[in-house]
Amino acid sequence: MAITYRTLPVPAFDEYTARIAAGAVTFGVEYRHLDEAVILAYYGPDARARFDNRAPAGFDGPVEEDGLSLHVFGAHDGAEYLRFDCFEDAAHYHLLDPRGPSNTVIQHDREQHGPLLDWALRTLRARLPELLASAGANELARAVDPAVLGPALDRVALECARMQAAGAPVRVAPPPEAAKASPH
């Protein structure tokens, strides 16, 4: 099942997102906790209205999930174009067009494809340009270099295992305001 919204999802939390360069794209690995409080803090009291009062794919009640999120950012603009939310109960992925904005959320079929993390890593290796084009990032899709993709995804897989073992958000960098305030 796919739902398209005109609002982008809560962005990656930089302090919990390990970034791995791969030429034209940068992968992000984040262990994320997402609940109603996080959503309300980011979007404000009209959070549901911003999503046309439709629940995200796979969510029937209040949002209360955690797990790995894999992000694909454009190296040239830092914008997020793909996201795989490897949550236990509501695994799904996003095709994102920040210019629209457009956010197509596709519920993952675990029965057919297995765990989302495994599927995402295989799919990124085999079909990253196709997925980027589906998100409307055609120029970025053409710029993907398969020679750098494999080694970068090997590092992504290692970072996923590290964060999964922690089972909670792992701070990888100081919060942006702390970094700005630092005298170094």
DSSP assignment string, 22-85? ETTEEEEEEEEEEEHHHHHHHH-TTHHHHTTT-PPTT-SSS-EEEEEEEEEEETTT--EEEEEE
Would you say residue 51 has pLDDT above 50? yes
% of the chain with per-residue pLDDT over 70: 90
* Residue whose C-alpha is closest to residue 116's, from 84, 94, 74: 84
**Strand-strand pairing, 25-35 and 64-74:** antiparallel
**pLDDT tens for each residue of 163-180:** 999 999 999 976 555 444
Give the model's pLDDT for residue 184. 41
Token digits for 53?
């009062």
Give the model's pLDDT for residue 174. 64
CA dihedral 169, 140, 1, 48 (to 10 degrees): 60
**pLDDT tens for each residue of 117-128:** 999 999 999 999
d(CA 131, CA 70): 14
Contact 88, 67 (CB under 8 A): yes
Burial 26-50 (b: 16+ CB within 10 A, else e): bbbbbbbebeeeebeeeeeeebeee
Q: What are phi and psi of 71, to 5 degrees?
A: -115, 145
- Confidence class for position 57, pLDDT limits 50, 70, 90: low
**Strand-strand pairing, 17-22 and 25-35:** antiparallel
Per DSSP, what are the bridge partners of residue 69? 30, 85
Give the model's pLDDT for residue 179. 47
**pLDDT tens for each residue of 69-103:** 999 999 999 999 999 999 888 899 999 999 989 99
Q: Half-sphere exposure of residue 114, counting CA atoms within 13 Å on the CB side?
A: 7
Q: Residue length, the chain?
A: 184
